[in-house]
Amino acid sequence: LIKQSTKRMKFLLDLLLLLPLLIVCCLESFVKLFIPKRRKSVAGEIVLITGAGHGIGRLTAYEFAKLKGKLVLWDINKHGLEETAAKCKGLGAKVYTFVVDCSNREDIYSSAKKVKAEIGDVSILVNNAGVVYTSDLFATQDAQIEKTFEVNVLAHFWTTKAFISAMMKNNHGHIVTVASAGGHVSVPFLLAYCSSKFAAVGFHKALTDELAALQITGVKTTCLCPNFINTGFIKNPSTSKSIYFRGQCLNLSILNKKTLTGV
């Protein structure tokens, strides 16, 4: 009986300690609901977006262009890059384009050097470039697996290493990692892609923790993990037939709103 009484008392004490915390959390949520946090201005910020020639990268560039950011657009597809740049210029943004192969570390480093010399220090980096091959493990070529990791993961290391030093020095910047729901839930016939996106999510988490450990409070991080998107990859007949996926594709406009909110 004494033991039961002691347990009950401990439970009541724990509950009493928890109640104030719950009240504070509820009040904080209530305040945020009616008084949302003021969005920071990105006007004049140098925003670098990889994979800007189509899809998520292209529409993200459009949104930053509307906010008067100074855009640095990277893509391996020159034609797609020029189309994105033309629209961004029409929205009033200053735009610089670089044809960059994000599977090539030296190309990334040399292009980053040009950006810093000709334009300035990047303060918002959107690691968006990605590739996807849809086939089973044995049908996926070794070179395709390597390229998936080079673009979807390793490129994040190289771009971040190239630009984060200035952000840390100024205690100001933002790193955006475009991952995928496939970085949390695996999908058959997307083995290489999902594995690379799990790694991208891990990169984001580890980078966030490292910045916190270094007490770099002004450099923020955001990780996007959307469902499959209505881009050229998913619309391609050979891709869509191969994907063992029955969910609804996410609209790009919804994702871009989330991206800008996160930044």
- Options 62, 96, 133, 193, the catalytic residue: 193
Q: How many CB atoms sit inside 10 A of residue 133's CB? A: 20
Chain position carrying tokens 């390597």: 146
CA distance linking residue 165 with residue 109, whole number of Å = 14
CA distance linking residue 73 with residue 78, whole number of Å = 11
What is the DSSP track for 9-25?
HHHHHHHHHHHHHHHHH
| Contact in structure between 247 and 227 (CB atoms under 8 Å) | yes
CA distance linking residue 200 with residue 18, whole number of Å = 36
Q: Would you state the structure tokens that stand for residue 89, as one six-digit string?
A: 């210029």
193 has catalytic annotation: yes
What is the DSSP track for 165-210?
HHHHHHT-EEEEEE--GGGTS--TT-HHHHHHHHHHHHHHHHHHHH
| Contact in structure between 184 and 134 (CB atoms under 8 Å) | no
**Which residues are catalytically annotated?**
193
